[in-house]
Structure 1
Amino acid sequence: MVFTSFGVPAPGPVEQRWTPRLVISLLSIVLMLEMLAISYIMIATALPYIAKHYQTTQGAWLLTAFLLFGAMVAPLLGKLADLYGKRLMLLVCVFGAALGSLVSAVAPTYSILIVGRALTGLLVACLFLSYSLIRDVFPPKTIALAVSIATSGMGIIAIPAPFITGWLIDGFGFRSIFWFTLIALAVLGTLILFTTQESTIRQHARLDLLGAILLGAGIAGVLVGVSFGPTWGWAATSTLAYLIGGVVLIGAWLVSAGKLSDPLIDIKVLRRRSVAFTVLAAGCIYGVSGLYTMLLPMLVMTPKELGLGYGFGSTAEGTAIFQAPLGLFTVIGGVIVGVLVGRIGAKPRIMMAAGAVSAGFGCLFTAFSHDDKLLIIVFGALVGLGMGLGYAAVPNLLIEAVPPQLQASTASIAGVFQSVFPAVLPVIAFTVMNNSFTAVFPPEITKMLGGAVMYTSDGFKIAYLIAAVTAVGCLLAALALPSRITQLQVPSDGAPAVDEADREDAVVA
C-alpha cells in the first residue's frame, strides 16, 4: 500500500476535498469531543450541589472515577482499535459513556453515581480514537485542520457550555446535566455511525490481555493512591499499598512488553523522542487545563463579603462570563494550529511550545492578580489559547511520528497521560491548600457556610503557580522534540522497528 506524507492511504476512489458527508462527520466528532471538554465544567460547577444532596465529602471522586476508568481502559481500547477498527471502538465508547450518563442521572446513592461517572470516562478514549480515525478516512489535505478542530473544538457547545450548565443546574437541578449528556451522546453517536467511514487499516497481531491487565491495574493503583493520599495520609498502609502496587504492576508490564512479539504497546515506539516527549507535553498541557478549570468556578463563586481578597459571589450561571472566553480561545488556538500546520507546514512542536508559553503566562498572571473580573477573563483567555494550541498540536505530532497501523495504540498512551495529569495535579494543589492555606472564620460564619472549606488568597496563588510550573514542563518537553520527525517504519510482518535513520530519534539508544 502506498502512503502519503501524513501516513494515510494514497488517494483512491474517495473524496479528496470537503463534502457534505465529511462536514457532518467532522461536526459530529467535534461535538462529541466537546462533551468531554464540558464535562469538567459541568461537574466543577455542580459539585457543591451534588455534595450537599448526597451528604458526602468525597466530591473528588466525581473527577477521579471519570479519569481513572478512562486511563485504565485507554491502552486496551487503543489496541482493539488497531486490531478491529477505530470507528467500532469509538462507537462502543460513545454509547458506553451514554449509558454511564443514564446511571448517573438516576443514581439513588453516591456510590452508584460514581459507577456512572466511571463509565462516562470512556469519553477519554474517544479523543485519541477520533483523530486516529480521521487520519485514516479523511482526505490528506484536510487532516491537519480536521484533527486540530476535533481536539480543540469549534465552540458550538464549549463556548455556551457555562451558560447551559448554569441554566440547567439553577432551573432543573444537578441531575439535568447528566440527562443532557445522555441525549447529546446518543444523538451524536448515531450521526457518527451513519456519516463516518470505518478505517480499513489493521494491525495484524494478537491481543495482549496480560499486558492490558497489568498496565490498567497499575495505572489504577497509582491514581487511587495519589487521589486519596491526602485523606488517608501519605504514610498510611493503604496509600503505600496502592502506590507501590501500582508501580510494581507497571514495571511488570514493561518487562512483559519487552519480551512479547505482540505487546499491548511496543516499547521501542515509546522510546522515541518524538513519541515520549509528545505524550509528556500532552500530559502537562491537559494537567494545566484540568487544574485551571477546577479552580476557576471556586474562585469566582466565593462570596466577596468573606473578605478573602478574591471572589465575586457568582451563581452557577454567572460563572459563564469567566468560562466562556476560556472555551472561545481554546477553539481559536485549535484553528490556528490547523491552518498553520495544514496550509503552510508550520511545525507542530512550535505550536505546542507557543501553547505552553501562553497557558503558563495566563496561570502566572492569575496567581498574582485574581481579584479583578476583567483581568481574570483576560488571563483565562490566555490559558484557553494555550490549551487550544497544545490540544491541537498533540495529534499532529503523533501523526508525524507513528504509522497508521500503530496510531490508536500509541495515541492511547497520550490518552493515559492526558488523564493522569489532570487527576494528579488538583490533588497536589489541594493537598497544599488544605494543609497550609485554609481560611479561619468566626463560628457564626462557619455555620452559615455549612462547613464548606474556603481558602486564603495565597492558597489560590500557590495553586495557580503549580499550574504555571506544569506549563513550563510542557514547554521543556516541546523544546526537547526533534526538529525533524521521521515516521517509524512498519515492516511487512507488522512488527515495529527502528531503522538506522530513526536511532538518533530514540530516547534510549
Structure 2
Amino acid sequence: MRPPTTGAHTSWNGRLIGLVAVLVLVNFMVDTAITAPLLVLPEMLDHFGTDQAAWLNASAMLAGVMWAPLLGKSADVHGKRKVLVLTLLISCAGALLCAVAPNLWVFVPGRLVQGAAVAALFLSVAIVREVCAPRIAMVVVGIVTSGSAVLNIGSRFLTEKLAADFGFQILFLISAVVAVAMAVCVHRIVPESRITTPGRIDVGGALLLGGGLAGVLSYVSLGAEFGWFTVVPLLLLAGGVTAFARWFLVSSRKPDSLIDVRNLGTPLVLTLLVLVLSTGSYQSMLQLIPLVSDVPAGQGLGYGLAGQGALAVLLAAPGIGVMLGGPVSGVVATRIGPAATLAGGIVLGTVGTLGMFLGVSQFPAAVFFAFLLGFTVGVLGTSGFNLAGSLAPAERQGIVSSLVMVVVAIGSVVLNFVGAAVLKSTTVLAGGEPVNSGMGVFTYITIASVAFVLAAVLVFPLVRKTRASQVSSRS
C-alpha cells in the first residue's frame, strides 16, 4: 500500500529543493556523529589510555540498533518531524557528553546516547515518502541517502586537521553544533506528518528488542577482541539472546507490539535478508581496503598496494561511488521498480567484491572495484529504503524504515568483526612484525563474496514475488 499523494510533491520546486537540502545536511550530521570520530580512533585510545577499540568503534552503531525501533514507532504515532527534532537533540546531548568526558566510563555512555543519530537517516526517508508522490520519492530518497557523501569527501581532510590542532574533542563539539542547527532547520522547513497511527509506544518491547540485538552484536564485537568463550562476551550473548527471545514471544501475542512479526510479509522479510547480507559484505570490504593499502607488494605476501598510487584516490573512490549510486538508482527505480534495481545492485556488488581478489595487489583494479562497491552501496541503500517503504502502509513507514537501518547495522557489525577475527587468526611474521597473511586476506574476501552470492540467491525470488503482488493489486 502506497502513501496517499494528496498535497504531495509531484515535481521539483523551491520548497522541495529546500527540504532535500535540509535532509541531506541532517544525514551529514549522522556521519559527523557516527563515522567522523573513527578517523581519530588512535588519538582517542591514547587519550583514554585504553586498547578497547571495539567499544569506541562500535558503541554508537550498536546504540543506534537500540534506538531505531523505538524512534521509528514513535514517529508513526507522534509525527516524523517531531521525533526527528528530538533525535537530533538527543544526539547533541551525547556529543557534548563525549566532548567533556574525563574517562572512558563517561565517554562510552556519551557515544551510546549519540547513537540516536542513526535514526535521523531512516526518519528522513520516511518524511520523503510522505511528502512526495511515489515516482519522485524514489529519486529524492537516492539524493537524501547519498548526497552527504559529497560533503564527506571534503570534510575528512578538515576533520583530521581540526583534530590535530584542537584535539579530538573538537569533532564532538562540531557534531553537537550541527545537530542543534539541523534541529532548528527541520522544525522550520520540514512539514509535520499528516499521517499518524493511534496507539501507544511499547517501551518495554523496545528495550527488550534493542537490548537483545545490542547484546548479541556486542558479543560479536567483543568476542573477536577478548575471546569468544570468555566471561564478559558470553554474558552479553546470554543476556542478548534471552532479551530477544522474550521480546519475540511477547510481541507475537501483543495487539499493539512494536513490530508486528506476524504480518511482516515474505517480500519484506526477503528484502531485509538481502540487505543484511549485502551491506555487511560491503562494509567489511571497506574495512579491508586501508589494511591492504599500507602493505607493499614487495613483502611477498600475495597482496599489497603501498607505493603503487595515491592512497587518497583509493579511499575517495567508494565515496564518489556512493554519491552517484544513490541518485542513479532512484531514477532507474522509477522505470523498472525498486526490487529490480536492488537486484542490479546485488549483481554489481558481487562483481565488485570478486574483483577485489585482483584489487588487493593491483592499484588500478583496486580503485575501479572500490568505486564499483561504493556505487553498489548507494544503490543498496536507496533501493532498500524504496522497496521496504513500498511494501508498508503509510501509517507504518517509520517502523519499517527503522528495520532497514537495523539490518544494515547488524550486517555491518557482524561481517566487520568476522573479517577482523579471520585476519587476526591468520597473521604471519614479516620482518619480525605480525602482519595479515595472504591466506587471511583472500579468506576475508571469500566470506564477503559468499555473502553477496547468498544475497543474489534471495533477491531474484524477491523480484518475482514483488512483481506478482503488483499484478495482484492492479487486478
The verdict on a shared fold, with TM-score over 0.5 as the criterion, is yes
Q: Displacement, 1:211?
A: 1.5
CA contact (8 A) 1:257 1:265 kept: yes
Q: Displacement, 1:351?
A: 1.5
Report the Cα distance in structure 2 between the residues aligned to 1:50 and 1:457, rounded to whole angstroms.
30
CA contact (8 A) 1:67 1:124 kept: yes
Q: Displacement, 1:237?
A: 4.0
Counterpart of 1:184 in structure 2 is: 178
Counterpart of 1:497 in structure 2 is: none
Counterpart of 1:474 in structure 2 is: 455
**Using a 3 Å threshold, how does the CA distance of structure 1 residues 123 and 305 change in structure 2: closer, same or farther?**
farther
CA contact (8 A) 1:292 1:464 kept: yes
Answering whether residue 122 of structure 2 is matched by residue 128 of structure 1, we say yes
Counterpart of 1:155 in structure 2 is: 149
CA contact (8 A) 2:34 2:115 kept: no
**Using a 3 Å threshold, how does the CA distance of structure 1 residues 9 and 59 change in structure 2: closer, same or farther?**
same
Counterpart of 1:164 in structure 2 is: 158
Q: Displacement, 1:53?
A: 3.1
CA contact (8 A) 1:63 1:423 kept: no
Deviation digits for residues 192-212 of structure 1 (CA, Å, limit 9, x no counterpart) = 221111112111122223311
Report the Cα distance in structure 2 between the residues aligned to 1:141 and 1:329, rounded to whole angstroms.
23
Deviation digits for residues 407-459 of structure 1 (CA, Å, limit 9, x no counterpart) = 111222222111111111111111111112254543xxx5xxxxxx6423433
Candidates 5, 9, 20, aligned match of 2:4: 9
Structure 1 gaps, min length 5: 1-5, 447-452, 489-500, 503-509
Counterpart of 2:66 in structure 1 is: 72
Tell me the C-alpha RMSD between the 2 structures.
2.8
Structure 2 gaps, min length 5: none
Report the Cα distance in structure 1 between the residues aligned to 2:338 and 2:373, rounded to whole angstroms.
18
Q: How many residues get paired? A: 470
Report the Cα distance in structure 2 between the residues aligned to 1:227 and 1:166, rounded to whole angstroms.
26
**2:246 partner SS:** helix
CA contact (8 A) 1:159 1:327 kept: yes
Report the Cα distance in structure 1 between the residues aligned to 2:160 and 2:225, rounded to whole angstroms.
30
Report the Cα distance in structure 2 between the residues aligned to 1:15 and 1:364, rounded to whole angstroms.
41
Counterpart of 2:386 in structure 1 is: 396
Counterpart of 2:332 in structure 1 is: 340
Counterpart of 1:99 in structure 2 is: 93
Counterpart of 1:369 in structure 2 is: 359
Bigger Cα displacement from structure 2, 389-398 vs 299-308: 299-308
Q: Displacement, 1:383?
A: 0.4
**Using a 3 Å threshold, how does the CA distance of structure 1 residues 168 and 300 change in structure 2: closer, same or farther?**
farther
CA contact (8 A) 1:64 1:227 kept: yes
Counterpart of 2:312 in structure 1 is: 320
Deviation digits for residues 19-62 of structure 1 (CA, Å, limit 9, x no counterpart) = 22221211111222234346665344322332233332211222
Answering whether residue 210 of structure 2 is matched by residue 220 of structure 1, we say no
Report the Cα distance in structure 2 between the residues aligned to 1:192 and 1:454, rounded to whole angstroms.
47
Q: Displacement, 1:394?
A: 0.8
**1:117 is matched by which residue type in structure 2?**
R
Q: Displacement, 1:482?
A: 4.5
* Greater helix share, structure number: 2
Report the Cα distance in structure 2 between the residues aligned to 1:414 and 1:438, rounded to whole angstroms.
38
TM-score normalised per structure 1: 0.84
CA contact (8 A) 1:333 1:386 kept: yes
Q: Displacement, 1:190?
A: 2.1
CA contact (8 A) 2:299 2:430 kept: no
Report the Cα distance in structure 1 between the residues aligned to 2:10 and 2:177, rounded to whole angstroms.
33
Report the Cα distance in structure 1 between the residues aligned to 2:452 and 2:269, rounded to whole angstroms.
17
**Using a 3 Å threshold, how does the CA distance of structure 1 residues 92 and 307 change in structure 2: closer, same or farther?**
farther
**Using a 3 Å threshold, how does the CA distance of structure 1 residues 215 and 323 change in structure 2: closer, same or farther?**
same
CA contact (8 A) 1:44 1:297 kept: no
**1:459 is matched by which residue type in structure 2?**
G
**1:420 is matched by which residue type in structure 2?**
I
Q: Displacement, 1:222?
A: 0.7
CA contact (8 A) 2:305 2:363 kept: no
Answering whether residue 300 of structure 2 is matched by residue 310 of structure 1, we say no
**Using a 3 Å threshold, how does the CA distance of structure 1 residues 121 and 144 change in structure 2: closer, same or farther?**
same
Answering whether residue 259 of structure 2 is matched by residue 284 of structure 1, we say no
Report the Cα distance in structure 2 between the residues aligned to 1:305 and 1:111, rounded to whole angstroms.
43
Report 1:100-499 matches (<5 A): 100-153=94-147, 155-270=149-264, 272-302=265-295, 309-312=303-306, 319-342=311-334, 344=335, 346-442=336-432, 454-483=435-464, 485=466
**1:158 partner SS:** helix
CA contact (8 A) 2:426 2:439 kept: no
- Identity over aligned residues, as a percent? 29
CA contact (8 A) 1:76 1:212 kept: yes
TM-score normalised per structure 2: 0.90
**2:225 partner SS:** helix
